[in-house]
Amino acid sequence: MSQTTPVWCVVPAAGVGKRFGSAVPKQYLPLHGQTVCEHTLQRLLQVESIQRIVVCLSSEDQTFTQLDVARDARITTTPGGSERCHSVLHGLHALSLEASDDDWVLVHDVARPCIRPDDVRKLFHQVQTENAIGGILANPVRDTMKRSNAHRHIIDTVSRDHLWHALTPQLFPLGLLRDAIESALADNAIVTDEASAIERMGYQPLLVAGHPDNIKITHPQDLPLAALFIHQQETA
């Protein structure tokens, strides 16, 4: 996979902000002068190999089309689904109208606005170099890991050796990823990321170390941290 190899992209963005506790979906919250969504998409658009970005939206979304970035020629939209995996599957079907099953597809969370374009390029390069079935950005676990019971009492200390935090983007062949997600849904298995769907098929995706500032906006306190990271990246 060279820098000129076509790569397609799916960005699931159908969430309505229930876990975040905001009346506004978190992808449209203000962040360092723009919305979270705008930061995310603008960074992906800096990656030259990406031919098309399909953004998967809620049927209730009336905000996305008002963003300047929505008018970029490389961005299209498609309806999302009830869960992240349903949205990704809808995005893959939309891409199939112009991409082939052997083409590479990148899936990235809309709520990860600090993604560095160089980390995306690093993911492409390492998957190619190691001839992997696909790969994901991830960070090695640094903290001591504890397992609890249902009452939050510690029942075990888990070795952090070979444990990683899964991030996005995640990169796989379009046809393989579509089949893997469809298989999981047929078995009533709601997969929380693309790699877990691929793992169910018996494959072992590659872990590629990314920068630790690639955080996901999950709680209100994540917004000022993301703003700090973006400011640091812009002034480095």
**Could you tell me the residue ranges of all domains in the chain?**
7-235
The total number of residues shown for the chain amounts to: 236
Give the single-character DSSP code of 202.
T
In contact, 55 and 13? CB cutoff 8 Å: yes
Q: How far is CA 61 from the centre of its chain?
A: 20
The dihedral over CA atoms of 126, 132, 135, 139, expressed in degrees to the nearest 10, equals: -60
Tokens of 69: 């970035």
What beta strand segments (E) does the chain contain?
7-13, 30-31, 34-35, 50-57, 75-79, 104-107, 135-140, 145-148, 154-158, 164-173, 206-209
Q: Would the pTM of this model clear 0.75, i.e. be above it?
A: yes
Other C-beta atoms closer than 10 Å to the C-beta of 180 total 25
Tokens of 73: 């020629």
Residue 187, judged by CB atoms within 10 A of its CB (0-12, 13-18, 19+), counts as: exposed
Q: CA of 216: how far to CAs of 111, 114, 142, in Å?
A: 5, 8, 18
pLDDT tens-digit readout, 129-178 = 999 999 999 999 999 999 999 999 999 999 889 999 999 999 999 999 99
> Which band of pLDDT confidence, cut at 50, 70 and 90, is reported for residue 19?
low
* CA atoms of 117 and 7, how far apart (whole Å): 14
Query: Does residue 122 carry a pLDDT above 80?
Result: yes
pLDDT tens-digit readout, 70-115 = 999 999 999 999 999 999 999 999 999 999 999 999 999 999 999 9
Question: Residues near 191 by Cβ (< 8 Å), separated by ≥ 6?
Answer: 85, 181, 184, 197, 200
CATH number for domain 7-235, candidates 3.90.550.10, 3.40.50.720, 1.10.1740.110, 3.20.20.70: 3.90.550.10
**What rounded mean pLDDT belongs to the chain?**
94
Mean pLDDT, rounded, for 4-21: 79
Query: Does residue 16 carry a pLDDT above 80?
Result: no
Mean pLDDT, rounded, for 35-64: 96
> Which band of pLDDT confidence, cut at 50, 70 and 90, is reported for residue 15?
confident
